[in-house]
Structure 1
Amino acid sequence: MSDTTHLLIPYAASASPGCQQAQQGLALPHLDRLLARLSPRPEYNDTGEETSFSAPHERALARALGLPAQDGRIPWAAWHCHQQGLTTHGEAWAFVTPCQWQVSTDHVTLRDPAQLGLDEAASRALLAIVAPWFAEDGITLHYDQPTRWLASGPLFADLATASLERVLLRDVRAWMPDAKQARTLHRLHSEMQMLLYTHAFNEERSAQGLPVVNSFWVHGTGALAGPPPATPSTPPPHMPTTLRDAALRDDWRAWASAWAALDAGPVADLLRQAESGSPVQLTLCGERNALGFHTAPRSLVQRFQGLFRPMRWSNMLVQL
């Protein structure tokens, strides 16, 4: 099955009332036809909670890439280093995203880092300011992208952390890593807020009308145990992010439009491949669970039953 095409769809559904309403008028004819042709693949199903640190699609992608999929301990940063040709030597790595925490009386909300307007020069300048503080705790920071740095240090070896999208635009307090295991991070959060509160870096940003940066988020922690995973025999899944982007903004009208576009595009393409006899795989993910489907021989009884009880996308999404 080395030529299997795998379509992995994050945020295919949500328990949000806005999502439930958006589904009412949604028609996905290609998805219905595709589900009618595919067989469930229970070993690819995944059950979790909305409070889990790693979203279902992250766990599904990790398994497809041969990475460990333990909640909050998927070593995405170490995998990224490996993909960039960097030798990790079994070191523990993490992503560190500079961000703004908006503090109110009953919430500490992590605003979207993409809205900070950080370019490479500003990000590198900020990294130079905070790096010595991290270094005192055995954490080495490295520039990667304007809104994402790499960090290496023993602290990240077995530390469960919530992915950035889990906490985006939400109250960070519910997603903080274990207080005992992450004392260093909790202290660094306090120190960075004090350091940056009146720092010239933020004063200049304020003068320019740009949002201040007053904190950071650690995610993607862990080490690659043993040799890096071999290149999978199957191509990596195709994972469109349009549903995710709309859901994280709580824009359910855009989410419905994105689903219609997916149905007419990637889902229709997968259906054509399945109809031509090519092996395909589909994974639908919500905020809690994931359901897997694939092309597999079906018995005459199964096909007969499918004529009268075809799988419908609306029945599938309620399980996510």
Structure 2
Amino acid sequence: MSLPTVSSKPIKHWIVPFAASLSEPCQHALPRLAADNALPHLRRVLSQLQEVQRIEGDEYALSMPHERVLARAMGWPDSDGLMPWASWWAAQDGLVLEAGKTWGMLSPGHWLMGRDHLTLLDPATLGLSEAESRTVFDAIRPLFEEDGWTLLWGSAQRWYAAHPSLSGLPTASLDRVIGRNPDLWLTDHSEARMVRRLQSEVQMLLYQHPVNDAREAQGLATVNSFWLSGCGAVPHSVTWPQEVILVNDLRAPMLADDMPLWLEAWASVDATVLKDMSDALDAGQAIQLTLCGERHAATFAPVPATGLSARLWQSLKRLTSSGSGSDPVPLLNSL
């Protein structure tokens, strides 16, 4: 289903991931957004738009809803767990991956061993330096190359790997796994066995690596494994259209289950991004807003005005709508 257009000009499309979650901390925090003075610009924007598309999913999907929305914007297939995000991230890191190979992204990280399960910590919170990352990368590379893999270093948090076994291999998004038990997100695909073996070998190799010894001495989390995601052939495009604006402010606090910070981030997005959207609507500009949760993504756009009376009605609605629109919490809960 294609989104409606109101003019021949590209329509600015704001995409907001992590707008809500089914997690217990988020469910306790969401009622705070029901207060009359909460998110006034979101209320006003939603009062002038209608839902034109909803991408359905569930909390057990390998890919996040916002990844599916962005994949569609770039003209990629949005098959669950099969979107070539490694190529996109490599472009952000200044790399051009070799076409004709299937690439994946390796995220070096810490798998925290609890009393009865593992938890994958957010790699961004490790504070891994470039020197540490390159040293660990060089240490594990022979394990992969022995099996015919090609490895490239992209950044402290992102390495890239190519191997024929990655073709058609579904993998869970890093955003899906952070803060959760990675064992639950390792697929039973036949080609995943090699990945699991390499994860075990990397864990053993890094157990007493000098980089980890030094980090432990400083009270820092070690690098003891990696997560593979974003596998696929290099796509025709690795940039999304200029009119697409990703608002990623809610990601870090949501993944950290830091709900006070998440509520602050929502207030900041409302006061800046959503205020700009509200001003654009007041100026008669066509816009789109997609709110993404843990399961679904909902896109909102103006109703096309096809006649003089419809245009006059929309103008009147813009002028008379106030910041005290309806409570957004039921909508956020539906995501």
- Provide TM-score, normalisation by structure 1: 0.89
Aligned partner of 2:333 in structure 1 is: 318
- 1:125-149 Cα deviation digits (max 9, x unpaired): 1111100101122211111010111
Aligned partner of 1:214 in structure 2 is: 224
Which residue among 238, 255, 263 is the counterpart of 1:256? 263
Which residue among 108, 117, 135 is the counterpart of 2:127? 117
Summarize the Cα distance change of 1:19–1:208 in structure 2 as closer, same or farther, 3 Å threshold: closer
Aligned partner of 1:146 in structure 2 is: 156
Task: Assess if the C-alpha contact under 8 Å between 1:164 and 1:219 holds in 2.
Answer: yes
User: SS in structure 2 opposite 1:41?
Assistant: strand
The 5 A counterparts of 1:106-255 are 106-224=116-234, 228-229=236-237, 234-255=241-262
Task: Assess if the C-alpha contact under 8 Å between 1:9 and 1:285 holds in 2.
Answer: yes
Aligned partner of 1:72 in structure 2 is: 81
The 5 A counterparts of 1:28-47 are 28-42=39-53, 45-47=54-56
Unaligned runs of 5+ in 2: 1-7
User: SS in structure 2 opposite 1:60?
Assistant: helix
Summarize the Cα distance change of 1:116–1:230 in structure 2 as closer, same or farther, 3 Å threshold: closer
How far apart, in 2, do the equivalents of 1:143 and 1:151 lie? 9
Q: Does 1:52 align with 2:67?
A: no
Aligned partner of 1:95 in structure 2 is: 105
Instruction: Give the stretch that moved more between structures: 75-84 or 116-125.
Output: 75-84
Instruction: Give the stretch that moved more between structures: 170-179 or 282-291.
Output: 170-179
- 1:67-106 Cα deviation digits (max 9, x unpaired): 2211111101123445646253232111101111122332
Q: Does 1:3 align with 2:10?
A: yes
How far apart, in 2, do the equivalents of 1:38 and 1:93 lie? 40
How far apart, in 2, do the equivalents of 1:256 and 1:24 lie? 11
- 1:180-210 Cα deviation digits (max 9, x unpaired): 2311001111111111213334233333443
How far apart, in 2, do the equivalents of 1:241 and 1:192 lie? 31
How far apart, in 1, do the equivalents of 2:251 and 2:213 lie? 34
Summarize the Cα distance change of 1:152–1:22 in structure 2 as closer, same or farther, 3 Å threshold: same
Which residue among 293, 296, 299 is the counterpart of 2:300? 293
User: SS in structure 1 opposite 2:128?
Assistant: coil
Summarize the Cα distance change of 1:50–1:92 in structure 2 as closer, same or farther, 3 Å threshold: same
How far apart, in 2, do the equivalents of 1:293 and 1:318 lie? 16
Unaligned runs of 5+ in 1: none
CA shift for structure 1 position 17: 3.2
Root mean square deviation of aligned Cα: 2.5
Aligned partner of 2:287 in structure 1 is: 280
User: SS in structure 1 opposite 2:152?
Assistant: strand
Aligned residues: 313
Q: Does 1:62 align with 2:71?
A: yes
Task: Assess if the C-alpha contact under 8 Å between 2:51 and 2:300 holds in 1.
Answer: yes
How far apart, in 2, do the equivalents of 1:289 and 1:33 lie? 22
Summarize the Cα distance change of 1:260–1:207 in structure 2 as closer, same or farther, 3 Å threshold: closer
CA shift for structure 1 position 292: 0.5
How far apart, in 2, do the equivalents of 1:211 and 1:16 lie? 25
Summarize the Cα distance change of 1:116–1:80 in structure 2 as closer, same or farther, 3 Å threshold: closer
Task: Assess if the C-alpha contact under 8 Å between 1:144 and 1:150 holds in 2.
Answer: yes
- 1:21-68 Cα deviation digits (max 9, x unpaired): 3222321111111112112212xx111111111110111111112222
User: SS in structure 2 opposite 1:222?
Assistant: strand
Summarize the Cα distance change of 1:41–1:90 in structure 2 as closer, same or farther, 3 Å threshold: farther
